[in-house]
A and B are shown apart, each in its own frame.
Chain A
Amino acid sequence: MPRLPRRSLGGIALGFAFATPQATRAQTAPPRLPGSLNTARRLDAWLRIGPDGITLLTGKVELGQGAVTALCQMAAEELDVAPARLRIISGDTAATPDEGYTAGSQSIENGGAALRYAAAEARAILLDLAAQRFGVAVESLRVDDGTIRAPDGRSIAYEALAAANPLAREASGRVAPKPPAAHRLVGTSLPRLDIPAKVMGEAIYVQDMRLPDMLFGRVVRPPSYAATLRAVDLDAIRALPGVVAVVRDGRFLGVVAVREEQAIKARAALQRAAAWDMPPSLPDPARLHATLKGLKTDTTIPSEKRGDAPPAVKRLSASYTKRYFAHASIGPSCAVAAYAADGAALRVWSHTQGVFPLRRDLAKALRLAEGAITVSHVQGAGCYGHNGADDVALDAALLARAVPGRPVKLQWMRDDEFAWEPYNPAMEMALSAGLSAEGRIVEWTHEVWSNHHNMRPGQSKDGVNLLAAWHLAEPRAPSYPVAAPQPFGAGDRNAVPLYDFPNQRIVNHLVVEMPVRVSALRTLGAYGNVFALEAFMDELAAAAGVDPAQFRLNHLKDARARAVIEAVVKLAGEDASPLPRGLGFARYKNTSAYVACIAEVALDRASGTVRVPRIWSAVDSGQVISPDGLLNQIEGGILQAVSWTLKEEVRFDTVRILTRGWEDYPILTFSEAPKLRTTVLNRPDLPPLGAGEASQGPAVAAIANALTRAAGMPIRALPYTPERIKEALA
């Protein structure tokens, strides 16, 4: 097994050495390098070879999605070493390249491309060195698990060439990675590096960190977003057993105690002791979408095209909505923070998706220089986007500041996570289209109203996107939401159809006021937009009297898109059942993996219950790095989307968030999980495409379209909870 970074878990020294990040800016007009190599351009930013072995450095982090294993696989392939020989450091401001966030299904596309090219070039450099040493032609050498062998039997290990410091140079990007036909490791299902520790109970999560003299923290949040603190007696809390510090800064409140249960008791006491005023600030949930559309919006036209087409003889329009849903990680967010005894430097361990962006906002919130802060990634529970990971890091730092020299571990309680995490925004999608006499779509309009789907930290110079920063006595404001350019987009992600329509107009109404806290959740706006786009395609297919799969093919030139639709139709056709079915398709971001899903549903009209017994899917994610890793992401994504679609909705009234625990927010259970069949169209000669967020849009669309058949009418408001289904059918 490759060695995972153990430096941060158990018995580590609390050091404050601040290395300079390896990423360096090149001279003017440097050549464009592949993936993240373009911004972190030195080979030794990615790979280090020392007498003690080979270290792989990546700015991408493990979120439970298997990215680090796949990256290790890609690098080991190019280096010709067994993956077990690689030591991996991921996401550390003191060691790794700055690859921004581990998000957007970009780890393999960008992080993987960088490692591939860096590793291929490193291998070539090492081979050159060996050829010189042996006085033989480089072509005559071969590599066997990191040992270079000459035809005459002489050999030398990579590590033995380390003294020359051969990777201390800028990458050229000119050494091509192996051709797919030469792959021995890529394309195989290398077992995940992190799973054994997770099933054996070894220390692997940030929650498992135990540092010398470590204390435990808890925070007391206001009872609502807009609540103001009227009065609180902190002295009574300070007198409680084990309490070391009580922190109040504005309406940020927290406790530090010797033992964890003491911190939890002190939190409860502090909650009782604090008196709050709670003015209403939230939209009336009964008029949610109308309220959001009435707020200030910045409107852009991400795509518009005009072309020749026959006249429209039939026009349809429909409006679709989705409400807020939560990341709802099983483990509440957690961080460990420690100030140096003199308060001049800060160490943070966090399951953040971006150690560098987090550090930027921590520096602003804490008024420290960025260089005085080191942030190291340590795994947490699955996050599925921007959950409380970054916020809790600032919380821990604010508490640690009260006890300099001592680390503080802070895990949010369940209600902290549910009530304060940034949700996936509510959205409304208004679509209209015109059909020609031949049943072709000749005009298409898609308007979307949504808050921004990316309010992560580290976005802007001025704003601070960390919760506690908004609550301090000298508060910092969040950054102003700025529309993300296509093809990625944010609220308009996947609003631009992949279908070929002669006339189209996509309008992005970015709602800039944010009455309910929202940010990035797996797929961003794609879940809502693909739901609307694909449900509307079915409504149009019905109006045109054309089979939904055929109707899509009639509007699709992209051969890979056509292939996944044809493949899923064939796959689902192998299984007979009397239940109504529906199809959904998307290419995530129009740049990543292609997925088509077919779902079958069973509707119980009396109770309003929708069940999804089976989902079939076909996926093309280009070259498959790990077949099993790909399936885990695609199928896990489908099940999560089923949960969002059938069950999930954050509850609130005009004053406060009401969703506080699992009783308020049921998720998919084992008995409810649909049976899945998935077929993968491997394209070994094409670049690998991100797949972690590719299946959710097609899955919800397939369910929606099957439900239309079961209900005899389209149901255009998500989620499909019994109460909303009954309302729709009434």
Chain B
Amino acid sequence: MPIALTVNDGRHETTAEADTPLLYVLRNDLGLNGPRFGCGTGQCGACTVLVEGVPLRACQLELGALGGRAVTTLEGLGTPARPHKLQRAFIAEQAAQCGYCANGMILAAKALLDATPEPSEAEIRQYLDPYLCRCGTHHRIVAAVQRAIREG
């Protein structure tokens, strides 16, 4: 019995088992690259997606538990021709070294700004604390979020 899901405003069906983590369906069935495997245990945030606007770890989210809720990935925020303000800001601030964590950072920031349009720097840091960056790009990421707030 195929399972239907809504990703980035498109309807998809998959024959994957209901206990399949959403991450593998997004990457391997839908060909999306934004959500990245980092730990498979919900600890690093590299696989983050927005489910009805809430940032969740796609490695921990079983397909069958999605229940028709709409999923947004990094690709759903903007396109190279029309990037989202956060994507623009990450480029402007050069807020990446390896960039592997950028997906989680951008989607978490999106969720934060949707709920709190003008967070303080401390609020941004606290919100991003559960998202791991190994390259030491933390300050640039915060600066990019602040730039996105400023430039709207």
Contact = CB atoms under 8 A, between A and B. Distances in A.
A binds B: yes
A676 B139 contact: yes
A382 B106 contact: no
Nearest to A633: B97
Interface in A181-220: 189, 191-192, 194-196, 198-205, 207-208, 210, 216
B41 A414 contact: yes
Interface of B: 16-17, 20-21, 24, 27-28, 31-34, 36-41, 43-44, 46, 73-75, 78-80, 83, 87, 90-91, 94, 96-103, 106, 122, 124-126, 128-129, 131-142
A259 B28 contact: yes
Interface in A527-552: none
Contacts of B17: 261
Contact of A198 (B28, B44, B99, B125): B99
A-B pairs, top 10 by smallest CB distance, nearest first, are: A64-B98, A639-B136, A198-B99, A382-B98, A201-B34, A636-B136, A381-B100, A201-B74, A670-B125, A64-B97
A662 B44 contact: yes
18 contacts: A64-B96, A195-B96, A196-B80, A199-B83, A201-B103, A203-B33, A260-B27, A264-B40, A330-B100, A331-B98, A381-B98, A628-B94, A632-B94, A632-B137, A638-B136, A639-B136, A639-B138, A640-B136
Contacts, number: 175
Given A640-B134, A643-B136, 19 more contacts: A64-B99, A195-B99, A200-B80, A201-B33, A201-B73, A260-B28, A261-B24, A331-B36, A331-B46, A331-B100, A379-B98, A381-B98, A640-B135, A661-B39, A661-B41, A661-B43, A667-B134, A670-B126, A671-B126
A632 B73 CA distance: 27
A205 B33 CA distance: 9
Nearest to A666: B132
A196 B142 CA distance: 18
B24 to A, nearest CB: 5
B74 A200 contact: yes
A65 B80 contact: no
Contacts of B41: 414, 661-662
Contacts of A152: none
A413 interface: yes
A669 to B, nearest CB: 4
Interface string A260-277: 110010000000000000
B43 A200 contact: no
A66 interface: yes
Contacts of B16: 259, 261
B83 to A, nearest CB: 7
A308 interface: no
Contacts of A379: 98
A239 to B, nearest CB: 16
The B interface, classified by DSSP as helix, strand, loop or mixed, is loop
A15 to B, nearest CB: 22
A232 interface: no
Given A201-B33, A201-B75, A66 B128 contact: no
B78 to A, nearest CB: 7
Contact of A669 (B28, B103, B129): B129
Contacts of A640: 134-136
Nearest to B78: A200
A194 B99 contact: yes
A202 B99 contact: no
Contacts of A189: 94
A671 B97 CA distance: 19
Interface string A344-383: 0000000000000000000000000000000000011110
Nearest to B88: A199
A329 B90 contact: no
A330 B134 contact: yes
Contacts of A225: none
